[in-house]
Amino acid sequence: MAKANERGVTPQSEDFSAWYNEVVLRAELADRGPVRGTMVIRPYGYRIWELIQGALDARIKATGHENAYVPLFIPESHLRREAEHVEGFAPELAVVTHAGGEKLEEPLVVRPTSETVIGEMFARWISSYRDLPLLINQWANVVRWELRPRLFLRTTEFLWQEGHTAHATEEEARAETAIALGFYEEVARDLAAIPVVAGEKTASERFAGAVSTLTLEALVRDGRALQAATSHFLGTNFARAFDMTFANAEGALEYCNTTSWGLSTRMVGGVIMTHGDDRGLILPPRLAPYQVVVVPIGRDADLPPVLEAARELAAGLIALGVRVRVDDRPQLSPGFKFNEWELRGVPVRIELGPRDLAAGVVTIAERLAEGKEQRPLADAVAEMPERLTAFQAALLDRATRFRDEHTFRVDDWEGLVAATAVGFASVLHCGQLSCEQRIKEATKATPRCVPFDAPDEQGDCVACDGPSAYGRRVLFARAY
Amino acid sequence: MAKANERGVTPQSEDFSAWYNEVVLRAELADRGPVRGTMVIRPYGYRIWELIQGALDARIKATGHENAYVPLFIPESHLRREAEHVEGFAPELAVVTHAGGEKLEEPLVVRPTSETVIGEMFARWISSYRDLPLLINQWANVVRWELRPRLFLRTTEFLWQEGHTAHATEEEARAETAIALGFYEEVARDLAAIPVVAGEKTASERFAGAVSTLTLEALVRDGRALQAATSHFLGTNFARAFDMTFANAEGALEYCNTTSWGLSTRMVGGVIMTHGDDRGLILPPRLAPYQVVVVPIGRDADLPPVLEAARELAAGLIALGVRVRVDDRPQLSPGFKFNEWELRGVPVRIELGPRDLAAGVVTIAERLAEGKEQRPLADAVAEMPERLTAFQAALLDRATRFRDEHTFRVDDWEGLVAATAVGFASVLHCGQLSCEQRIKEATKATPRCVPFDAPDEQGDCVACDGPSAYGRRVLFARAY
């Protein structure tokens, strides 16, 4: 820790926001782009995104969805066809007014999301119930003008996947939104080691144009909630706006029921904020670009045999499917490398010096543990997959414990204020917008979701003593 | 063929351009987007792109390049820093002037390519020779306003990868451009079955801002050339514009030498135009979303056992790594399905009816062959990988033969005119822009490249009788 502070990472407890920005920049996850609010995702950060993509894409395809690509530009008039949708997105739009050296007859919106283009295409492609369900996904960039940008969490442009599906019935479409939320929950829990709360958004937090929005909410280390992914049941709203109909088995025309769902590069921010500590990042092995870093130690004549042994060690790990890097940069000291890889959150570091080599051992330092341990070289290799699995599980346990310790069941105003200052407040709420707003003004907290797994419960609103809505408790928190 | 014509695909010989558009739309490779010149890539076309991506990404990573992502928006002033670059791209730019409900202080260009953003970032990241080479790749969308858009070949927005690298020396940077061209040549030849000519662009056809542009040129079935991919040596042009310097081993500052190289969704258009015939697409097995389609044939009580056998057959093929689809759509006749999968270019069709099933055989139709053959069911499965390999090789042979038969070594004006009407003209040329322009006006042909494998040769220019340049022959052709 002393060494990390020498490098000047602000402690989380002192200024979480400064800690976050410093870690993102110094770990070389991302950098700021030339245009305000834009982000360059550097190779170390992009590799994390690729690992998320790979796992999510496999799940999406295994359930019958197909990837496609729709254009970046949307005619402004298209966006206006769904009234709530355009109202929700209007303040965030970037608009192309000139192209090819001329002023355009109609301005083009840079997509903030693609429901409206999909609406037009689906209307063109769907004619019969035999064309349904239509299950499409795309990996793409989207643009939403952000007034308070933050790397990964809120950037003017971000990368995501957006699923778009059309169904013959409301029941099928609602089932689809649950399937998509299931992908996201698996990715969050099993890859990112983030324990998320799955639930439904209240009306004020719904996607613009949706009938119902399902969400996953994480709780990060400064006690704020982070929306990790959402899945929307759009009813027939977009189908009506784009005349998306199908002939049913009896030949009568019906509107499709549609869904959309997305997970973005924001998830990388969630990983950083959920697991990091004052030394920097801690990466879950399943998302770590390097799961193991081998640091060879030695000078002059001692170095070549150590380097050779380090490379053999790495080859043994690669053969077991471990992502490993030998840090053989000659100009840097071992101490500098230890600090750097701690800052960059590599789960396991192996140190290998001439005395280790002579004794047939290696020194292992795990990013979650305080000390180091020595292991016979062959065992260190053979045990590594199991060690990484255990590390992954320990990280999820740690985050789950944190989340549970920062979730409070409260029934009065003082309790609400105290809970939302440090985490989730689980409360009964009247569901009135005016009451939500009063809570927000006093605590900055908003309703994050009505968790699916909350038991049936009714009573008085935590804030206004009106009768509770939703039939169960709601989670409130300050949110990113 | 008769059946295909019933479906109304215009023969290639009648109107190649109409044939192309009809095949792209009816095979459901792509559709037109709501904004003129934009394209929706449908799942069948996107899958081809994903197969290209997978192979190319593996080659890029195996050679030490790392994926990253830089922003879509470029400040207009940035683009102006490299004079030739902005001059080349200015007519094609789309410009964002308003965002977040306000007029922007500085307009933002939607990237037509990313050298200028990369320039700024590389300048920030590189300080020492130890930071070099810096080898970055990104998969992204880019926008170039097209006056004569054509699906896949020239669309207002397209998908590509763009490699960007910085090196300490010109020699290393030039070697890098050859490495990248090598990736592309392998993908073209081994996946797309497209025999390309590798060479260097003449000055008039170079990338805006490049010192040298390497290219792969394909010849498609209407006798026009198609630029399949390019790789640019940028010298120190962008390094100077963005102050991208490094301290060499002696501590002195030097400018980096940089490269950039790209392959786009245009390659999908190349596949269509290189291999298709009057019945529709012909897909090389390595890029076919479905390599084999199984069509079960039977009515009423005959159908269930046939369907079951078709699914077992498919399972056997999948176990061998074959991409297969059982076309069990109940409402469509076998004849309709045969035509559809021929139009969509599936390499191998397996027909399976009750009599086949009783005899333990299947009927196989290959997309390149005229007739059908019967094979014992188990053999049909076991032989399939080999059959697909042979199909892939046959397609490359066929395209190579076509290319060779449409490449003419000509030494006079009449020969040039005749050759460029049907294919490549291999000529001695003076290298003067005025002479290139005279050729273009008369024949619509432009210099495609100076092939690497052309022998040393000198003499009189084919058009003006001035002395030839380049030290070897140049390929001229009409081009997409």
- Residue ranges of alpha helices (H) inside A286-352 are 303-319, 334-343
Q: Between the CA of residue A165 and those of A172, A184, A244, B387, what are the distances in Å?
A: 10, 16, 12, 37
For B414-462, the pLDDT digits (tens) are 999 999 999 999 999 999 999 999 999 999 999 999 999 999 999 999 9
Tell whether B369 and B460 lie within a shared domain: no
Whole-number Å distance between alpha carbons of A399 and A124: 46
User: The whole model's pTM is what?
Assistant: 0.96
Task: Give chain A's domain count.
Answer: 3
How many CB atoms neighbour CB A331 within 10 A? 7
* Residue A6, pLDDT score: 52
In-domain check, residue B282 = no
Element (DSSP H or E) covering residue A419? helix A413-422
Tell whether A220 and A357 lie within a shared domain: no
Put simply, the answer to whether B35 touches A130 (Cβ < 8 Å) is no
Exposure b/e, B115-136, CB count within 10 A at least 16 = b: bbbbbbbbbebbeebeebbbbb
For B299-350, the pLDDT digits (tens) are 999 999 999 999 999 999 999 999 999 999 998 999 999 999 999 999 999 9
Q: Helix or strand or coil: residue A342?
A: helix
Q: What are the residue ranges in chain A where pLDDT is below 70?
A: 1-7
Q: Is A120 on the interface with B (CB under 8 A)?
A: yes
Q: Helix or strand or coil: residue A162?
A: strand
Put simply, the answer to whether A143 touches B42 (Cβ < 8 Å) is no
Please name the residues between 35 and 74 in chain B that touch chain A, using a CB distance below 8 Å: 35, 38-43, 46-47, 50, 66-74
In-domain check, residue B97 = yes
A333 Cα to chain B: minimum distance (Å)? 15
Which of A232, A256, A275 is a domain's end point? A275
Whole-number Å distance between alpha carbons of A462 and A453: 20
In-domain check, residue A395 = no
Put simply, the answer to whether A69 touches B46 (Cβ < 8 Å) is yes
Tell whether A152 and A195 lie within a shared domain: yes
In-domain check, residue A386 = yes
Contacts of B329 in chain A (CB under 8 A): 130
Please name the residues between 152 and 211 in chain B that touch chain A, using a CB distance below 8 Å: 156-157, 159
Put simply, the answer to whether A92 touches B78 (Cβ < 8 Å) is no
Domain span at residue A429 reads 407-477
Element (DSSP H or E) covering residue A174? helix A170-186
In-domain check, residue B129 = yes
Tell whether B172 and B250 lie within a shared domain: yes
Size of interface A-B (CB pairs under 8 A): 167
* Radius of gyration, alpha carbons of chain A: 25
Tell whether A115 and A145 lie within a shared domain: yes
* Residue A1, pLDDT score: 35
For B180-222, the pLDDT digits (tens) are 999 999 999 999 999 999 999 999 999 999 999 999 999 999 9
Q: Do the Cβ atoms of B48 and B283 come closer than 8 Å? A: yes
Which of B357, B387, B417 is a domain's end point? B387
Which of B25, B47, B67, B70 to mutate: most A Cβ within 10 Å? B70
CATH of the domain at B336: 3.40.50.800
Put simply, the answer to whether A147 touches B100 (Cβ < 8 Å) is yes
In-domain check, residue A303 = yes
| Amino acid type, A397 | D
Whole-number Å distance between alpha carbons of B111 and B109: 6
Instruction: Quote ipTM for the complex.
Output: 0.96
Put simply, the answer to whether B157 touches A67 (Cβ < 8 Å) is no
Q: Is A247 on the interface with B (CB under 8 A)?
A: no
In-domain check, residue B56 = yes
Tell whether A296 and A265 lie within a shared domain: no
Q: Is A409 on the interface with B (CB under 8 A)?
A: no
Using pLDDT thresholds of 50, 70 and 90, give the confidence band for residue B7.
low
Element (DSSP H or E) covering residue A274? helix A266-275
β-bridge partners, A103: A98
Strands A424-427 and A407-409: parallel
Tell whether B236 and B298 lie within a shared domain: no
Q: Which of B94, B98, B331 sits opposite A99 (nearest CB)?
A: B94
Tell whether A185 and A84 lie within a shared domain: yes
Using pLDDT thresholds of 50, 70 and 90, give the confidence band for residue B105.
very high
Q: Which of A41, A68, A91 sits opposite B69 (nearest CB)?
A: A41
Which of A338, A357, A390 is a domain's end point? A390
Tell whether A202 and A303 lie within a shared domain: no
Of the candidates A35, A166, A12, A171, the residue with the CA atom closest to the CA atom of residue A110: A35
Tell whether B193 and B259 lie within a shared domain: yes
CATH of the domain at B425: 3.30.110.30
In-domain check, residue B398 = no
A23 Cα to chain B: minimum distance (Å)? 16
For B345-374, the pLDDT digits (tens) are 999 999 999 999 999 999 999 999 889 999
Whole-number Å distance between alpha carbons of B480 and A190: 48
Q: Is B268 on the interface with A (CB under 8 A)?
A: no
Tell whether A412 and A458 lie within a shared domain: yes
Whole-number Å distance between alpha carbons of B442 and B453: 28
Is the pLDDT at B14 greater than 90, yes or no? yes
* Residue B82, pLDDT score: 85
Tell whether B132 and B211 lie within a shared domain: yes
CATH of the domain at A138: 3.30.930.10
* Residue B435, pLDDT score: 96
